[in-house]
Amino acid sequence: MLIPPPSEEAGKKERVVILGSGWAGYGLAQTIKPSKAERVLISPRSHFVFTPLLASTTVGTLEFRSAVEPVRRLGLDEFHQAWADDIDFANKTIRLEGNTQSGTAGSKTATTRDTEKGPMFDITYDKLVIAVGCYSQTFGIEGVAQHASFLRDVGDAREIRLKVLTAFEKADLPSTSDEHRKELLNFAIVGGGPTGIEFAAELHDLVHEDLAKLYPALMKFVQVTVYDVAPKVLPMFDQNLANYAMDLFRRQGIQVKTETSLQSIRREGDVLKLSVKGEDKDVGAGLLVWSTGLTQNPLVASLLKHDIKGLGRIVKDPRTGGITTDDHMRVLTQQTEDGPRTPLPDVYAIGDCTVQPGNRLPATAQVASQQATWLGKRINSGDIDTAPGFSFRNWGAMAYLGSKRAIHQNGADSLKGWPAWILWRTAYLTKSMSWRNKVKIPAQWLITGLFGRDISRF
């Protein structure tokens, strides 16, 4: 079945198809004015996730729907919950596979695609924007894909919350030995970036502000450990702020093990056994959250192999394997390795799956959001090719550290402690995409502060 572009008919608006509903794709669909273009969004999930607050949902500080924005509320001309399977650039046609999974509805990080194929159909475009993001990188370590929990979507957060609360319930059983309790209540996080550090901080708050009152006898068995292969966690912050974070973690009882790598993970009963470099024996853990590294979306890897008539192939970035674009977000092609680079007509790419040579930017929500805003405004104005190129404005970095403490850095300016925590909450509240969540988030913060977190298992 082929869904044709209405713009072929006289007087119709240009049909812009966006692949992805992350910071880049959702932000672009939100920026493009309905009066300027027909907006078509394709994504295997039906929502956008406000990732900076995802760690808060894993422990009940916020409820899951506070970090989610339904895609259909954007008032799109079309939305299809599907994966892009292939793209025919010559005929401006996209082959899609419908996401018919009912269990997770595309809200949980998967390391493999379901073997059951969804319905296949084609759509066409006038302009195409590739914003499919990246997948979690497991580095081929044995057992990670099968046993680790990721933290990239709301389904992941729900799974982590259930595992944490289940570990406490199992540890509280009279039949559980002290040695088994120690393993069940050892929570491991791999990755010393903001996601891993913030999850460790949120978990600390849950344990010491809520669970300590309900399971006082188990507190001596609880351990939160962060592993990272780098010599320093939070590499985007200066040494002074990173040291402040590590000092606070030590006082909170959170272990941070740098220059340490995991070699394999296996399941033994209801605990995971971690083979850690430098450890004499395997470490038992009730939960392992994997929050390190990115790898390219399989669609990107597939597109880079396409031979496009008269243009060659899309230029692959040698370091990340991503799509190379110019500063106008146009996808670049090249017929020979040393030949000139030519934009692929009417095809753009933004977000984590792209790289601009000479202007390498981090794969962050901040970058993807600004690229989406720039491209959306250009589509509204009709001056993509003539407008000045995209320029990134760094608004700084923030990380929550637990106990109502945070750090913030913007160039030479920095802030830490309680004032940084106030800034952290204020910034993310104002960045929330809808007024609906701008009201829900502070209301839930207030409820949590007054009555504690919800620890129900469901």
**pLDDT tens-digit map of 171-213:** 999 999 999 999 999 999 999 999 999 999 999 999 999 999 9
Residue range 126-146: average pLDDT?
A: 95
The per-residue pLDDT for 10 is: 46
Residue 457 burial (CB count, 10 A): 11
The CA radius of gyration of the chain, in Å to the nearest whole number, is 23
Residue 182 burial (CB count, 10 A): 17
Does the pTM surpass 0.85? The reply is yes
Give 260-275 pLDDT, tens digit per residue: 999 999 999 999 999 9
Are 42 and 17 in contact, with CB atoms under 8 Å apart?
yes
Report d(CA 91, CA 350) in Å as an integer. Answer: 22
**φ, ψ of residue 334 in degrees (nearest 5):** -155, 135
Are 23 and 7 in contact, with CB atoms under 8 Å apart?
no
Q: Which residue has the tokens 């608004």?
A: 395
Q: Which tokens sit at 209? A: 């502000």
106 pLDDT above the threshold of 60: no
Distances from the Cα of 197 to the Cα of 64, 117, 129, 201, angstroms: 20, 37, 33, 6
The per-residue pLDDT for 5 is: 52
Give 341-393 pLDDT, tens digit per residue: 999 999 999 999 999 998 899 999 999 999 999 999 999 999 999 999 999 99
The per-residue pLDDT for 116 is: 76
The per-residue pLDDT for 8 is: 47
Report d(CA 325, CA 311) in Å as an integer. Answer: 15
Are 400 and 406 in contact, with CB atoms under 8 Å apart?
yes
Give 180-189 pLDDT, tens digit per residue: 999 999 999 9
Antiparallel, parallel or unpaired: β 120-124 and 93-98: antiparallel
Nearest to 314 by CA among 290, 341, 276, 339: 341
Report d(CA 293, CA 273) in Å as an integer. Answer: 21
The per-residue pLDDT for 102 is: 61
- Helix ranges (H only) for 136-187 are 144-147, 154-171, 178-184
How many CA atoms within 13 Å lie on the side-chain side of 332?
21
**Average confidence score pLDDT of the chain:** 93
Nearest to 145 by CA among 99, 102, 109: 109
Antiparallel, parallel or unpaired: β 330-334 and 313-314: antiparallel
Q: Which tokens sit at 316? A: 């692959």
- Helix ranges (H only) for 392-434 are 418-431
